[in-house]
Amino acid sequence: MSSTLSKLVSLLATAVSHATLNPAVTGMLLWILTIGPAKIRNRLVNTVSALRNPQTLARVTKILKGLLALGLTRSINKTLNELALNGYRINNEKRRWKWNEEIAVVTGGCSGIGLLVVKRLVLKGVKVAILDIQQLPPALQGYAGIQFFSCDIADPSAVASTADKVRATLGLPTILVNNAGITEPHPILDTSPEYLRKIFDVNVLSHWYTAQAFLPDMIQKNKGHVVTVASLGSFVTVAGMVDYTATKQASFSLHEGLAVEARLKHKASNILFTSVHPIWVRTPLINPLKVTLEAAGSKFLEPAEVANAIAEQILKCSGGQLILPASLGWLTWIRGLPNWLQERVRGKFATTVLASIVKREREARTAESQTNTRSHGATNPRANSCAYAIEEAQQCTDIYSAQLVQTLDPTQRYVVSAGRNATKELKGFNVGLSDRKTLAYVSLKTSSS
């Protein structure tokens, strides 16, 4: 199906689901078909001739009652969720926010999502302090409302002293966007202790430091908005980037706990809390994954879509939870799903990430073998071995258990258990699918072949 057609189908499906679960629509139809004025009912029955049959009419009425009940439940649930995520506040906080007097702190504001959040806030008149380890990019230079602070948020003393500088130069911040983050796909067994500490420092512990630095002033004023840029990984563990998803689950947990402590411990129930959970976003952060994700047709968001959603939530003056895109909201229920379904969801996310790791490893090996060739003036001795062919087959996206099944002939042709993608991925080897389609044969490209 072409992407335009699939977009149309999905749009149509969304419209139908919105209409069928909209209590206003189903309630109105039910009213017309049961107790509404006979004149309108007759006009509807005359238009839809099937309704003239009393049995069909009874069945349609029953379905409408079911849809109305479902729609009402969904609407009540949505309203209660919004209320809870906004600290059970019914009154809007807008009157207490004057944008040209507000000060925002945005960590990681020099790139990707953070950069665009900064732009949106500054254009609204908010003064923004950017805390980043990168230099201020040209796109943010020349704005009077932006103040750049070089600060490694993984360092608690750097965060504390930068917070002092922000207060001294700009004033007391009322908006905190915990946005900076790092990731680098790799399997758990290849994670170095240094990287593990770094990713937890940047993606999680820094949120403790910024909260300790900026929350006390917000508590005193009983005013503020804390935004945690988490990820859909807060809900779904993704193999191949488990350290990252673990940090996103941890930072989400901190976010939830902070909101409750602000309300119950500090009696500062007017501080707003928003967590943000995007799927893949086209930013430098996911450069190592981009090619494989695109090849697999993964869903991507543009950084502006995420930044706009964050800015709008801040400007709306209400707390919330932003699942981006909203159509993936069902992923928040994942732990309530049956385990077999959970495993399938986790497997689906993992496949592409693991494939990208495999691709990078293969590229690294190729680069290494080219270096060897150049430095020794000879080909990598392993490149002409059966073991190497099988190792390569094991690296294919859909094979994790390639092994020698059978030697076909003395010209170094081997059958490995493999899948269809092997034919696409095993460049440099003669590869084809066997009759059974689940096996691929790998024959080494020798100088004579």
Ligand X SMILES: NC(=O)c1ccc[n+]([C@@H]2O[C@H](COP(=O)([O-])OP(=O)(O)OC[C@H]3O[C@@H](n4cnc5c(N)ncnc54)[C@H](O)[C@@H]3O)[C@@H](O)[C@H]2O)c1
Tell me the catalytic residues.
Answer: 244, 248
Choose the binding region for ligand X from 187-195, 215-223, 279-287, 383-391 (rule: CB under 6 A): 279-287
Q: How many CA atoms lie within 13 A of 433 on its CB side?
A: 11
Q: Are 248 and 199 in contact (CB under 8 A)?
A: no
* Nearer CB in complex with ligand X: 68/115: 115
443 lies in the binding site for ligand X (CB under 6 A)? no
* Nearer CB in complex with ligand X: 114/224: 114
- Give the one residue of 26, 107, 174, 443 binding ligand X; rule: CB under 6 A: 107
How near is the Cβ of 124 to ligand X at its closest, in Å? 20
How near is the Cβ of 354 to ligand X at its closest, in Å? 17
Output the CA angle 284-290-294, nearest 5 degrees. 140
- Give the one residue of 148, 280, 349, 441 binding ligand X; rule: CB under 6 A: 280
CA distance 139 to 343: 42
Run of H or E including 387:
helix 386-394
Question: What is the full DSSP assignment across 249-303?
Answer: HHHHHHHHHHHHIIIIIS--TTEEEEEEEES-BSSGGGHHHHHHHHHTT---B-H
132 lies in the binding site for ligand X (CB under 6 A)? yes
- Give the one residue of 33, 106, 110, 128 binding ligand X; rule: CB under 6 A: 110
113 lies in the binding site for ligand X (CB under 6 A)? yes
Instruction: Look at the alpha carbons of 23, 29, 31, 33 in this order and tell me if their dihedral is positive or negative.
Output: negative
Choose the binding region for ligand X from 1-9, 104-112, 336-344, 395-403 (rule: CB under 6 A): 104-112
Instruction: Look at the alpha carbons of 28, 34, 37, 39 in this order and tell me if their dihedral is positive or negative.
Output: positive
Q: Are 335 and 342 in contact (CB under 8 A)?
A: yes
Give the residue carrying structure tokens 């309300």: 263
Choose the binding region for ligand X from 11-19, 65-73, 161-169, 284-292 (rule: CB under 6 A): 284-292
Judged by CB under 6 A, the chain residues 227 through 246 that form the site for ligand X are 229, 231
Tell me the residue number closest to ligand X, measured at CB.
112
Cis peptide before 410 (omega within 30 of 0): no
* Nearer CB in complex with ligand X: 262/323: 323
CA distance 186 to 89: 43
- Give the one residue of 71, 224, 278, 319 binding ligand X; rule: CB under 6 A: 278
Q: Are 323 and 332 in contact (CB under 8 A)?
A: yes
- Give the one residue of 176, 205, 272, 286 binding ligand X; rule: CB under 6 A: 286
Q: Are 105 and 131 in contact (CB under 8 A)?
A: yes
293 lies in the binding site for ligand X (CB under 6 A)? no
How near is the Cβ of 274 to ligand X at its closest, in Å? 13
108 lies in the binding site for ligand X (CB under 6 A)? yes
399 lies in the binding site for ligand X (CB under 6 A)? no
Positions that interact with ligand X (CB under 6 A): 107-108, 110-114, 131-134, 152-154, 179-182, 202, 229, 231, 278, 280-281, 283-286
